């Protein structure tokens, strides 16, 4: 009987070992990629197509400035092959993730961008300019090719299609914003520094680089004066957060409110309509052109 039990145990051990082995050797069939927030997620998805599973770390509809990952979210990233992040102070929490997980490769996709300095910091909102977006797309494509070389041709093809779309948008921004009646536009937080620089406009913002900041009464009064003096007809709100001071400035001055999307995340309505990053860049151009003429 003893002999029988030990043979039985031996078989059991061999079985459990082989089942363990098959589990370990079973690799995920697709490259697993994480992107820190919406614009990077959408660009990555457009290049990765169906060769990779791309996940957005910051949930859609969540404002990403000052966001922090939970322990569970950090643990989930361990299983990925690649994490793309922006840098420039937008997703600085990524350093905490990078030091906590050993699985994925981390790639900063703002490399090569001529960043706009604001005091000791830099303005991170590069994705709002189709000119800068081309650099992001190139860095994302290179990261995918390095992580999954057997699909290099596929990623290159998708990238070229995306690059054509971004170049087309860049020309449209240049053309349609070249001869506007006025060059000054008013926004809540200074997300459009790169749009202003790349297309020769003048952005006036009520708060600084993060919409978390409080609007100072002095700044609000200054903007109201500016609107009256320059006879500005439109001011811009942000669909994701709808900041209150914009509404009060509008009712004080009679200026109309138009959306100018910071594309930091999608609203429920934008998701329902199937909008993407490119669609929102086009919408921003339409509204800029309208406000400046
Ligand atoms: Zn922002």
Domain count, the chain: 2
Within 8 A by CB and 6+ apart from 57, the residues are 34, 35, 36, 37, 69, 73, 77, 83
CATH number for the domain harbouring residue 155? 3.40.50.1980
On the question of pLDDT at 27 being above 60, the answer is: no
| E strand or H helix at 187 | strand 184-187
Task: Give residue-wise pLDDT tens across range 198-213.
Answer: 999 999 999 988 777 7
Q: Which of 123, 139, 172 is the last residue of a domain?
A: 172
Gap from CA of 246 to ligand 1 centroid (Å): 16
Gap from CA of 269 to ligand 1 centroid (Å): 20
Q: What is the pLDDT of residue 223?
A: 97
Beta-carbon neighbours within 5 Å of ion ligand 1: 191
Q: What percent of the chain has pLDDT over 90?
A: 83
Gap from CA of 169 to ligand 1 centroid (Å): 21
| Residue 10 covered by a domain | no
What confidence tier does 6 reach under pLDDT thresholds 50, 70, 90? low
Domain of 147 in residue numbering reads as 31-172
Radius of gyration of the chain (CA): 24
Q: Which of 172, 194, 214 is the last residue of a domain?
A: 172
Task: Give residue-wise pLDDT tens across range 104-150.
Answer: 999 999 999 999 999 999 999 999 999 999 999 999 999 999 999 99
Within 8 A by CB and 6+ apart from 62, the residues are 265
Q: What is the pLDDT of residue 262?
A: 96
Task: Give residue-wise pLDDT tens across range 151-183.
Answer: 999 999 999 999 999 999 999 999 999 999 999
Q: In this structure, are 51 and 132 located in the same domain?
A: yes
Gap from CA of 210 to ligand 1 centroid (Å): 5
Gap from CA of 125 to ligand 1 centroid (Å): 6
Gap from CA of 78 to ligand 1 centroid (Å): 27
State whether the Cα torsion 177-183-186-191 is positive or negative: positive
Q: Which of 117, 147, 172 is the last residue of a domain?
A: 172
Gap from CA of 284 to ligand 1 centroid (Å): 15
| Residue 140 covered by a domain | yes
| 114-118, 194-198, 264-268, 280-284, range with the lowest pLDDT | 264-268
On the question of pLDDT at 20 being above 50, the answer is: no
| E strand or H helix at 17 | helix 2-25
Q: In this structure, are 65 and 115 located in the same domain?
A: yes
Q: In this structure, are 81 and 151 located in the same domain?
A: yes
Q: In this structure, are 284 and 205 located in the same domain?
A: yes
Gap from CA of 115 to ligand 1 centroid (Å): 15
What confidence tier does 18 reach under pLDDT thresholds 50, 70, 90? very low
Q: What is the pLDDT of residue 10?
A: 53
């Amino acid at each position: 009987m003893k002999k029988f039990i030990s043979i039985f145990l031996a078989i059991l051990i061999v079985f459990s070992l082989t089942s363990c082995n098959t589990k370990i050797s079973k690799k995920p069939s697709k490259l697993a990629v994480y992107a820190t927030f919406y614009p990077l997620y959408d660009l990555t998805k457009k290049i990765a197509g169906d060769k990779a599973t791309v996940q957005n770390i910051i949930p859609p509809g969540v404002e990403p400035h000052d966001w922090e990952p939970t322990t569970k979210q950090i643990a989930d990233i361990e299983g990925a092959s690649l994490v793309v992040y922006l840098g420039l102070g937008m997703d600085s929490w990524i350093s905490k993730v990078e030091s906590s997980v050993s699985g994925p490769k981390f790639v900063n996709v703002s490399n090569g961008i001529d960043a706009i300095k604001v005091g000791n910091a830099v303005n991170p909102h590069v994705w709002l300019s189709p000119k800068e977006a081309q650099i992001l797309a190139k860095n994302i494509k290179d990261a995918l090719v390095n992580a999954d070389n057997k699909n290099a041709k596929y990623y290159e093809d998708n990238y070229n299609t995306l690059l054509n779309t971004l170049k087309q948008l860049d020309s449209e921004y240049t053309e349609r914003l070249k001869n506007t009646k006025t060059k000054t536009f008013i926004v809540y937080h200074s997300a459009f520094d790169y749009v202003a620089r790349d297309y020769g406009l003048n952005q006036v913002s009520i708060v600084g680089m993060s919409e978390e900041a409080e609007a100072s009464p002095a700044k609000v009064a200054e903007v109201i004066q500016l609107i009256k003096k320059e006879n500005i007809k439109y001011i811009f709100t942000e669909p994701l957060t709808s900041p209150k001071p914009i509404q009060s400035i509008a009712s004080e001055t009679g200026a109309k409110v138009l959306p100018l999307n910071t594309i930091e995340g999608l609203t429920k309505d934008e998701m329902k309509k199937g909008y993407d990053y490119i669609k929102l860049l086009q919408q921003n151009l339409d509204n800029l052109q309208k406000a400046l003429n």
